[in-house]
């Protein structure tokens, strides 16, 4: 059961059981899926001549992969902002029982949000979009990313008398923007707030019936504008535009604030950063392969990851097998480059239950086995190249290697389409502590022994950069190097290496 609420500026939270921390019934937090890195959120904004609700809803469904904990839609109608949001998948929050939403969420301007928590707890109070009222009227905001100095800003705002209802950094972001805009106006207020806000933020925002989009000055997270007929939409990934039959106009530039009107796009603030820090994981794992982000097709990047991986770490093998679904494009690239045949040797069951809620280790282990199964004819007696996009803790890979060997694999050679993850991310990815990472403090041979593989090869950072097709200085690779594009509080993360040249 999902937890759902309807609000019109005043947030009213309810649940028939009184429980406000229920996550999606299909959220996967088990050793097969849940130890992949996860992105923070998806955001959507729409303005046009057609009703906003069905268009925002279709966009959120397309972007469901970016967050599965909660979903919400806000629209401006009858002089107020109305929002419906709840815990669970988009289809759980907005289902057949949610009739009448076309009227309760009326209007031709709206924003949407799906959430994966990287700052703040998994609860209804932290579900987006977020709402506030000030002298300008009603403001609603959806946010993808993470504010690295949110704790300090929260303290400053509380000293000024502001009250917080949630534990998320998005509320800090909204109140900081709201305060400065009410004093200085929209353009000047946002510019002042941006000087104080540190970290990653791609934002869709309504101020009454006006729609805005904002991207942080380094461009950590994507934000893309499209159009169909006389309707405009801004989304986290271009695949949502394709579903709507919309034409991509352009990406919101890093550091840019735009107002999107029924007549076109108005740039209110122009980005001025000397450096960029696009998250490399968008191209490795997060984004859908059919998306184009900052001019680069994600699928092509992943094919190149596999090709260059095969150049750097060739293998004497009979078959290339991907870890579904994340390793498919990389495995195809590896196969194309190496000439080793590609095969779907592993099948994933997408409908099995979550293992973390099961009562015993035996039942959890049985459920893990239900997640993946081997096509024995493709594995037995063969030397297998097992390809995936990344390794975090290593539990998942260890389990997969084990089931391949039980199916008769002669050898298992693991190839990873990204470099070793050795450091936390503070910009919207749920990798926060170094003890999570199997690669931290270990050599490749030591990691190989932990995994139980015959050999192990990671893509180099140079190979990663070549695959994506951007300059290295325009990518954030902090989780691979411990060198971050903006300073992180030293008392919080003492092993961080600061790169002052990335600021400004």
Residues assigned a catalytic role: 41
Distance CA 484, CA 158 (A): 29
CA distances from 266 to 37, 107, 215, 259 (A): 35, 21, 15, 5
Residue 279 · residue 474 · CB < 8 Å: no
What three-state secondary structure class fits 204?
A: strand
CA dihedral 373, 376, 379, 381 (to 10 degrees): 140
Cis peptide before 68 (omega within 30 of 0): no
CA dihedral 413, 302, 429, 19 (to 10 degrees): -90
Distance CA 223, CA 30 (A): 30
> For the chain, how are helix, strand and coil distributed in percent, rounded to 5?
30, 25, 40
Triad 67, 281, 480: Cα angle to 5°: 130
What three-state secondary structure class fits 179?
A: helix
Per-residue b or e along 301-322, where b marks 16 or more CB atoms closer than 10 Å to that residue's CB: bbbbbbbbbbeebbbebbbbbb
Region label for 208, one of left (φ > 0), alpha (ψ between -120 and 50) or beta (otherwise): left
If you write DSSP's letter for every residue of 272-313 in order, what string do you get? --S---EEHHIIIIIS-TT-EETTEEHHHHHHHHHHHHHHHS
Distance CA 433, CA 154 (A): 23
Residue 17 · residue 107 · CB < 8 Å: no
Sign of the CA dihedral running 158, 160, 164, 170: negative
DSSP alpha helix (H) spans, 160-268: 169-184, 186-196, 239-244
Residue 397 · residue 421 · CB < 8 Å: no
Distance CA 293, CA 286 (A): 11
Distance CA 234, CA 45 (A): 5
List beta partners, residue 112.
Answer: 44, 73
Triad 294, 212, 113: Cα angle to 5°: 75
């Amino acid at each position: 059961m999902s937890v759902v609420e309807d609000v019109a500026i005043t947030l009213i939270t309810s649940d028939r059981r009184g429980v406000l921390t229920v996550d999606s019934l299909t959220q996967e937090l088990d050793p097969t899926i849940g130890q992949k890195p996860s992105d923070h959120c998806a955001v959507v904004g729409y303005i046009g001549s057609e009703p906003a609700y069905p268009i925002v809803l279709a966009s959120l469904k397309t972007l469901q992969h970016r967050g599965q904990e909660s979903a919400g839609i806000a629209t401006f109608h009858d002089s107020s902002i109305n929002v419906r949001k709840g815990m669970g998948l988009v289809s759980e929050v907005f289902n057949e029982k949610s009739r009448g939403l076309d009227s309760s969420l009326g209007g031709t301007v709206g924003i949407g949000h799906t959430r994966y928590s990287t700052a703040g707890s998994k609860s209804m109070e932290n579900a987006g979009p977020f709402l506030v009222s000030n002298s300008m009227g009603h403001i609603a905001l959806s946010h993808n990313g993470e504010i690295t100095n949110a704790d300090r800003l929260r303290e400053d705002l509380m000293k000024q008398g502001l009250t917080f209802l949630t534990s998320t950094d998005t509320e800090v972001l909204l109140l900081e923007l709201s305060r400065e805009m009410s004093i200085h106006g929209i353009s000047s207020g946002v510019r002042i707030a941006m000087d104080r806000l540190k970290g990653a933020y791609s934002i869709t925002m309504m101020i009454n019936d006006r729609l805005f989009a904002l991207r942080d000055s380094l461009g950590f997270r994507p934000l893309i504008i499209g159009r169909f007929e006389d309707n405009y939409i801004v989304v986290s990934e271009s695949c949502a535009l394709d579903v709507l039959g919309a034409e991509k106009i352009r990406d919101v530039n890093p550091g840019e604030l735009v107002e999107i009107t029924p007549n076109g796009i108005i740039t209110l603030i122009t980005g001025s950063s000397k450096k960029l820090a696009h998250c490399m994981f968008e191209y490795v794992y997060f984004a859908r392969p059919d998306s184009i982000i900052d001019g680069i097709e994600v699928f092509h990047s992943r094919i190149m990851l596999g090709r260059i991986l095969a150049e750097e770490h060739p293998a004497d093998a009979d078959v290339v097998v991907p870890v579904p679904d994340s390793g498919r494009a990389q495995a195809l690239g590896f196969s194309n480059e190496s000439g080793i045949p590609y095969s779907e040797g592993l099948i994933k069951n997408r409908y099995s239950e979550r293992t973390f809620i099961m009562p015993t280790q035996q039942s959890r282990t049985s459920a893990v086995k239900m997640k993946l199964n081997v096509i024995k004819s493709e594995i037995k007696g063969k030397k297998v190249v097992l390809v995936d996009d990344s390794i975090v803790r290593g539990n998942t890979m260890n389990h997969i290697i084990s089931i391949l060997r039980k199916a008769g694999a002669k050898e298992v050679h693991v190839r990873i389409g990204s470099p070793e993850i050795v450091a936390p991310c503070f910009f919207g990815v749920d990798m926060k502590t170094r003890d999570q990472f199997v690669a931290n403090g270990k050599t490749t041979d030591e990691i190989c022994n932990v995994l139980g593989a015959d050999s192990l090869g990671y893509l180099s950072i140079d190979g990663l950069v070549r695959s994506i097709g951007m300059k290295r200085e325009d990518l954030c690779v902090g989780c691979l190097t411990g060198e971050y594009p903006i300073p992180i509080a030293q008392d919080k993360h003492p092993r961080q290496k600061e790169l002052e040249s990335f600021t400004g």
